[in-house]
Amino acid sequence: MTATEASDQAPTSMNNRQILQAMSGLMAGMFVAILAGTVVANALPRIIADLGGSQSAYTWVVTSELLAMTATVPLWGKLSDLYNKKLLLQLSLGMFVVGSLLAGFSQGIELLIFSRVMQGIGAGGLTALAQVVMAAIIPPRRLGKYAGIFGAVFAVGTVAGPLVGGVMVDTSWLGWRWCFFIGVPFALLAIALLQRTLHLPTVRRDVKIDYLGAFLIVAGVSAILIWTSLAGNQFDWASWQTAVLTGGGALLLVAAVSVEARVPEPIIPLDIFRNRTVTLTTIASLLVGVAMFGGTVFLSQYFQIALGKSPTVAGLMGLPMILGLLVASTIAGQIISATGKWKIYLVAGGIIMTVGLALLATIDANTGFGLLSLYMAILGVGVGLLMQNLVLAAQNDVPAAELGAATSVLSFFRSMGGTIGTSVLGAILANRVASEMAKSLGTEGEAAGGSSHAVPDMTTLPAPMREIVENAYGLATAELFLVATPFAALALLAVVFIKEKPLKTTSGMERLAEEAKQAVADGDKPSSPTPVS
């Protein structure tokens, strides 16, 4: 069969029913990935206590999954440009199932940490591949209307995770192990749905995997992320550990760039950054990660400590931001699909996100829930207008053969921004809490956790001390949002310079077939897309 014939036989177009059927497996997989990161939030203290872990182990259980997910996203993205995307999705779900079972049956902290790495690698595949597959089957012009489904899954997973985790821990006949087991049936369902509903062409060609580049990228990124996760907690920011991790990470990444510039099939094609849209959306995604994830991850702690709410109530109090994100992404997606205009929503999202963070910088321990809900909803609207539409802009402006690389680069930098932002802002919060408590209590502040990184147990504190701690955490949380605001403003500046281009009306599969035909016409030897069910 010739390349042209193969191209002609590749799937070209899917109707709305077929797309929704295919997305059912994708959404089940995405729900699993989100649930894995949120369901253990309220269960970790019990888990660590039962397994006899230390505060350091607590940190590693949290960061090991995030490190593995962030570091492997570019690898999954590149593999999706080379091999069958459906099989890769099923492989990532399989790895997630194995990691979840290992975590649920863990009898020691070492196995738990290893299992979280397995979960992180699987979640990295789901994060990168879900949006790649959507771009492959849905033209950019129609993609906006489906963004609301992503938003809904994100909202349900984010809100339900901590609540479900709390219920699991508090229910005697379940226990914390079910926080890991609960994702397994969803993952198995996703594998079955993908097998039945998703049909994509496989691009069969002779390829050489850049193993050296992959190793250098993962090692370099991991060194930087380990530093940002542990600095200010396990060791000082200015220390020999900082010098080793940052210096070593920088050298590894420089070596990775050198390797990627020379190999025929780089993990991250450096040429992709010659595309202005990809470069600017990547910068914006990094800054959104710092501002959004770095700032909002501490809201639950603010609800519980500064406002004195229970973990369950704290989970529900985050609903205004999630609903703002869901409504904004859904409505904007529908309008973008109808009009084809998208840049105005990126700019509006940047402005609204900046305003939302600035408003949240004014909160304290006495802020009413009504005002707090308004501020969170504004932030959610801004994030909802930005996150998915940044991916849409990049996917619309790259060749079909680079969809995986472009999508994974954006996801990678957004995750990295969130990790760095969380670590740095967490150190700022700890220092501000210590400072505020020292003002009120002097050296006694240390006894209440002022200079430590342990979260104080509010139920054991007397009323006067509790009031001091609440005030300290209220002011410190406001400072986090104040620090995050300039990053949102820089993200706005980046999207302003993105050039709006008409949204393509063909899917990634159709564009790939067209590019193959053009290669044949030009006398090149193209890849041959072969349908794989």
Region 121-137: what's the mean pLDDT?
Answer: 81
Cα angle 76, 295, 362 (rounded to 5 degrees) comes to 160
What are 248-297's pLDDT values in tens digits?
999 999 998 898 888 877 777 788 888 889 999 999 998 888 877 656 66
Looking from the CA of 120 toward its CB, the CA atoms found within 13 Å total 21
Q: Which of 74, 56, 52, 76 lies closest to 64, judged by CA?
A: 56
CA distance 379 to 363: 14
What's the per-residue H, E or C state across 195-210?
HHHCCEEEEECCCCCC
CB within 8 A of 467, min separation 6: which ones?
A: none
What are 94-124's pLDDT values in tens digits?
998 999 999 889 888 889 989 988 988 888 8
What are 377-396's pLDDT values in tens digits?
999 899 888 887 888 888 88
Provide the mean pLDDT of the chain. 78
C-beta separation of 223 from 72 below 8 A: no
Residue 269: the pLDDT is 78
Give the distance, in angstroms, between the CA of residue 510 and the centroid of all CA atoms in the same chain: 28
Residue 532: the pLDDT is 38
Residue 147: the pLDDT is 64
- Confidence band of 516 (pLDDT split at 50, 70, 90): low
CA distance 500 to 451: 49
Place of tokens 């508090």: 170
pLDDT-wise least confident of 162-166, 197-201, 492-496, 509-513 = 509-513
- Confidence band of 190 (pLDDT split at 50, 70, 90): confident
Residue 327: the pLDDT is 86
Per the model's pLDDT, the better-predicted residue between 352 and 500 turns out to be 352
pLDDT-wise least confident of 38-52, 88-102, 148-162, 355-369 = 148-162
Looking from the CA of 440 toward its CB, the CA atoms found within 13 Å total 19
* Residue 364, token pair as written in the block: 């304290």
Residue 54: the pLDDT is 63
The model's pTM is 0.76
Say whether pLDDT at 5 is over 60: no
Alpha helices per DSSP H over 304-402? 311-317, 319-339, 343-360, 369-396
Residue 8: the pLDDT is 35
What are 142-179's pLDDT values in tens digits?
776 676 677 667 767 766 777 777 777 777 778 888 88
CA distance 71 to 532: 29
Residue 204: the pLDDT is 55
pLDDT-wise least confident of 257-261, 329-333, 354-358, 459-463 = 459-463
Say whether pLDDT at 451 is over 50: no
Say whether pLDDT at 12 is over 60: no
Place of tokens 């019990």: 46
528: enclosing H helix or E strand: strand 528-532
Say whether pLDDT at 181 is over 60: yes
pLDDT-wise least confident of 53-62, 266-275, 481-490 = 53-62
Residue 3: the pLDDT is 40
CB within 8 A of 291, min separation 6: which ones?
A: 353, 357, 421, 484, 485, 487, 488, 491
φ, ψ dihedrals at 374, nearest 5°: -60, -45
Burial category of 481 from C-beta neighbours within 10 Å (exposed 0-12, middle 13-18, buried 19 and up): buried
CA distance 121 to 214: 14
- Confidence band of 407 (pLDDT split at 50, 70, 90): confident
The CB-based long-range contact list for 256-264 (8 Å cut-off, 24+ gap) reads 256/213, 256/216, 256/217, 256/220, 259/210, 259/212, 259/213, 259/216, 260/210, 260/213, 263/208, 263/210, 263/212, 263/213, 264/208
Place of tokens 């379940």: 174
- Confidence band of 446 (pLDDT split at 50, 70, 90): very low
- Confidence band of 30 (pLDDT split at 50, 70, 90): confident
Q: How many residues does the chain have?
A: 533
Residue 515: the pLDDT is 60
pLDDT-wise least confident of 120-129, 419-428, 463-472, 493-502 = 419-428
C-beta separation of 444 from 317 below 8 A: no
Radius of gyration of the chain (CA): 23
Cα angle 423, 426, 428 (rounded to 5 degrees) comes to 115
Three-state secondary structure call for residue 235: strand
Q: What is the DSSP string of 262-300?
A: TSSS-SS-GGGGGSHHHHHHHHHHHHHIIIIIHHHTTHH
Say whether pLDDT at 240 is over 50: yes
Alpha helices per DSSP H over 442-462? none
- Confidence band of 356 (pLDDT split at 50, 70, 90): very high
Burial category of 460 from C-beta neighbours within 10 Å (exposed 0-12, middle 13-18, buried 19 and up): exposed
Facing residues of 531 across strands? 201
What are 201-213's pLDDT values in tens digits?
655 555 567 778 8
Say whether pLDDT at 354 is over 90: yes
